[in-house]
Chains A and B, each alone.
Chain A
């Protein structure tokens, strides 16, 4: 069974540019989460999809962040325009209902 895959693994962009991160969850997993870990600190919740619907987006920092989940399959997280404080590792996780969440390898975003 394929795991959660994230693309790209690394991204270095300049302040003001746009970056789009992609997450492909495990097939059949309705729940998809985006998290961010900044500077080795805690894993902070960004948002939670159930299928194609945003169940909870209370963790999204501001309106520069836009997440979508097309047809309840893969998800994208766009940052536009990127700021220096957006640097960090963005993790995606997926799970079935009330089951274990599995994480992708993460995307390390560096904004310079």
Chain B
């Protein structure tokens, strides 16, 4: 079945540094979504990528969808303490109703 793998599982970042989290699917995806979960909170939708090779930016966040639509990345520049949380990617399958399969998440800790 479809599997979504996300690395790294844990990222310790100094404030001001950049980092990237990667998401890889075992199967071709219809689209991929990224979510952020703050400690004690619920996953909050960040962005959806649909097209092969698509790149989208949200302020300091850059999201990419691979050409084969099997991998994606999230790059954060100039990390701030507000970036703390767990970032999940979720791949949607290509079947009719598109099950969302989540990666394990990257837990981000930011030190001032």
| Interface set of A (CB-CB < 8 Å, partner B) | 31, 33, 35, 40-45, 48, 50, 55-56, 58, 91, 93, 95, 97-98, 100-106
Residue of B nearest to A49 (CB): B97
Nearest Cβ in chain B — how far from A101, in angstroms?
A: 5
Q: Known interface pairs A58-B1, A104-B42. Does A35 touch B102 (Cβ–Cβ under 8 Å)?
A: yes
Are A100 and B98 in contact, with the CB atoms below 8 A? no
A103 CA / B100 CA spacing, docked (Å): 12
Chain A residue with the shortest CB-CB distance to B104:
A42
- Closest CB of chain A to B64's CB: distance in Å? 18
Which 8 residue pairs are nearest across A and B when measured between Cβ atoms? A42-B104, A43-B102, A103-B43, A103-B42, A50-B97, A106-B42, A48-B99, A105-B42
Q: Point out the residue from B30, B33, B97, B105 that lies within 8 Å of A100, measured CB to CB.
A: B33
Q: Is the interface of B mostly helix, strand, loop or mixed?
A: strand
A101 and B100 form a contact (CB under 8 A): yes
B residues adjacent to A (C-beta < 8 A): 1, 30-31, 33, 35, 41-45, 48, 88, 90, 92, 97-105, 107
Cα–Cα, bound, A31→B101 (Å) = 14
Let me know if A31 and B43 touch, CB within 8 A: no
Q: Are B88 and A43 in contact (CB under 8 A)?
A: yes
Determine if A42 and B48 form an interchain contact, defined as CB atoms under 8 angstroms apart. no
- The residue of chain B having its C-beta at the shortest distance from the C-beta of A50 within the complex is B97
| A100 engages B45 (CB within 8 Å) | yes
Given contacts A98-B30, A100-B48, is CB(A56)–CB(B42) below 8 Å? Answer: no
The answer to whether A31 and B42 touch (CB under 8 A), given A42-B103, A101-B90, is no
Chain B min CB distance to A104 (Å): 7
Among B1, B98, B104, B107, the one with the most A-chain Cβ atoms within 10 Å of its Cβ is B98
CB distance from A110 to the nearest CB of B (A): 14
Tell me, rounded to whole Å, the shortest Cβ–Cβ distance linking A96 to chain B. 10
Q: How far is the CA of A91 from the CA of B35 in the complex (A)?
A: 13
